A and B are shown apart, each in its own frame.
Chain A
């Protein structure tokens, strides 16, 4: 009996013109999404390579490493980021590396191409969030109330048919009728990536598979929710209306409202506030050092020794370097304290916002998929940590080359203006390359697992809700 109902449900849904049209549109969008994702990735990749080359090119012809200005490193694009953009378009991708001090990335995708910021990208995440959740509602909103309206519920229950069997058949049938075709479209879509020449590593395939799983769980939650609502309403028009309101709340309102709410509840000092505090300290320290500088005195030349400008210059530069090191240390301590304090408050705020937002499956879906794609909020931090590691490497390299860590500051040099000897050019390729390592899979998965579980829980909750709703349903 269960099988009969499941089969009928699948045939009923898939055979309807409602399904043919809406699923056709969705399948086309899915394919389009992978195509634009691949194209987008390739464009970003080309831009990234060009920027890297340009950075090296501008070092060409320089004759000493001191003159290297504006050494830039870049966050490389990731193929999955074109499917689940997360924050990847909002954060700065370009970091100007100096030997010292805080590094700040700028030049986000949205900042550079604001037109994309206006309408955002059509990525897989958006497709699931907005389009496929609506498809689920469209297929599920009349599951029970529609049968009642059609009069088929009466006829069905003139048989010795247990209600639990019926609702189970409905749920399983409509789930399969939605998930299987979607999975098919997504699988075909995934193949577009390698076909268009965007290679995915084994781990990336695994990530993509989990992203799709999260998507199906998300869509499944909306489907079971729709069946549940239809099992609590007598008319399709009311179930549709209820679902529309719930959809707006879950997809559009709750995630945004949670951020606003958490913002009101936990106060986080702004970056500007911090920056001005840091600037104040910096100028104070500079003031103090200036006095020290003016008091700089070379030890008197030993009797019988000549005044040696070279030696004196070296002493002076070492002195300046030590001052700078001391300043740096103090700044780093102070900045670190401020940053940490801010980070703690921010984390509390985020945690609160996410807890509120997770009332909606939409939030869980966004959090899980962006974690899996490596484009969640941690991307910024992850990238910064790596730029800071690179900064160490860079500083060491510069010290090797120049004997000093210039840190972009003024350095007094004595040039051997020997007209005869042509200065040798530096070899930019000696500069250590920045190798970005995306977050490890285990790390990403660890951050996604809770939300994946939550999505599964939503399915179970609405599933059970549907069964309970239907056991008391007036089938007349």
Chain B
């Protein structure tokens, strides 16, 4: 808990670099830090390296250089320990189609080391992410993408980890669900979670994030506290960075 004091990073990338076997440099010496109670939003074109960064935090791949740390633990050195401290929602949540929502939650909660949850806990978390009650005990087979996404988010909440990784969590959510998700993120931040989120939703990122980073070709080309971007047209800024302008030019 010592690291939860403001100032110490919960999620940290230190000159994080990944070159894939085929030579693609997906991440090029990227550094950033997310503190407890902070939401860090990564924007960037398709193929910019966002998923790669998240995969490095989960030790799905090994860094070519640098390291990813969770709560100070280097993920590729002590992956099991590090991953106990992080919850994850993937781009396209796929769960067991033959299990009900509650069964899926129960299984993944147990994998995350949480064995004490009751039916009521599952019910309330599913309601919290906005899944209507009649769907709780239905098999996931018939769920829409957004409904599955909500289950995925519920699973992440149940893990109750200090750090959360979200890879385009709002893809597939309808506007109402998207808005509710934003409120959910707010409350998770209040609980002191450190949240790293990749997204294509510039407007929502601006509303909810504490820090906004724009990635291009494996580099972070802009990283600013959201408060400093308040008056700016983030979309225009994004386009400029994508066009290859330098930070100074763009902000000017």
Contact = CB atoms under 8 A, between A and B. Distances in A.
Partners in one complex: yes
Interface of A: 1, 4-5, 8, 11-12, 15-16, 150-152, 154-162, 474-476
A158 B87 contact: yes
Contact of A151 (B84, B94, B165): B94
Residue among A156, A160, A474, A475 facing the most chain B CB atoms (10 A cut-off): A160
A154 B60 contact: yes
A12 B98 contact: yes
Interface in B78-101: 79-84, 86-88, 90, 92-99
Interface stretch (B105-113, B202-210, B238-246): B105-113
B96 A155 contact: no
A157 B75 CA distance: 13
A52 B112 CA distance: 72
B167 to A, nearest CB: 10
Given A12-B98, A160-B81, A475 B60 contact: yes
B45 to A, nearest CB: 21
A160 B110 CA distance: 11
Contact of A4 (B93, B94, B98, B107): B107
B63 interface: no
Given A150-B94, A154-B60, 9 more contacts: A4-B107, A12-B98, A150-B95, A151-B92, A151-B93, A152-B96, A158-B88, A161-B80, A161-B83
B5 interface: no
8 contacts: A1-B110, A5-B111, A12-B99, A15-B99, A150-B97, A152-B95, A159-B113, A475-B60
A158 B86 contact: yes
B111 A161 contact: yes
B88 A162 contact: no
A157 B110 contact: no
B211 interface: no
B245 to A, nearest CB: 33
A154 B111 CA distance: 12
A152 B152 CA distance: 11
A155 B166 CA distance: 12
Given A158-B88, A162-B80, A476-B55, A4 B111 contact: yes
Contacts of A8: 96, 107
B61 interface: yes
Q: Which 10 A-B pairs have the closest CB atoms?
A: A151-B94, A158-B88, A160-B84, A160-B80, A4-B110, A160-B83, A476-B60, A159-B111, A15-B98, A150-B94
B43 interface: no
Interface of B: 55, 58, 60-61, 79-84, 86-88, 90, 92-99, 103, 107-108, 110-113, 152, 155, 159, 165
Contacts of B108: 155-156, 159
Contacts of A155: 88, 90, 93-95, 108, 152, 155
Contacts of A154: 58, 60, 88, 90
Contact of A1 (B81, B99, B111, B155): B111
Nearest to B114: A159
A157 B58 contact: yes
A162 B84 CA distance: 11
Nearest to B115: A4
Contacts of A150: 94-97
A11 B110 contact: no
A77 B25 CA distance: 73
B83 A159 contact: yes
A154 B57 CA distance: 13
Contacts of B92: 151
Nearest to A149: B94
Contacts of A152: 94-96
A162 B78 CA distance: 11
Contacts of B93: 151, 155
A471 to B, nearest CB: 13
Contacts of B82: 160
Contacts of B55: 476
A162 B113 CA distance: 12
Candidate in B55, B111, B113, B159 with the most chain A CB atoms within 10 angstroms: B111
Nearest to B111: A159
Contact of B90 (A151, A160, A475): A151
Nearest to A154: B90
A159 B114 CA distance: 11
Given A1-B110, A1-B111, A11-B99, A157 B60 contact: yes
Nearest to A4: B110
A70 B79 CA distance: 83
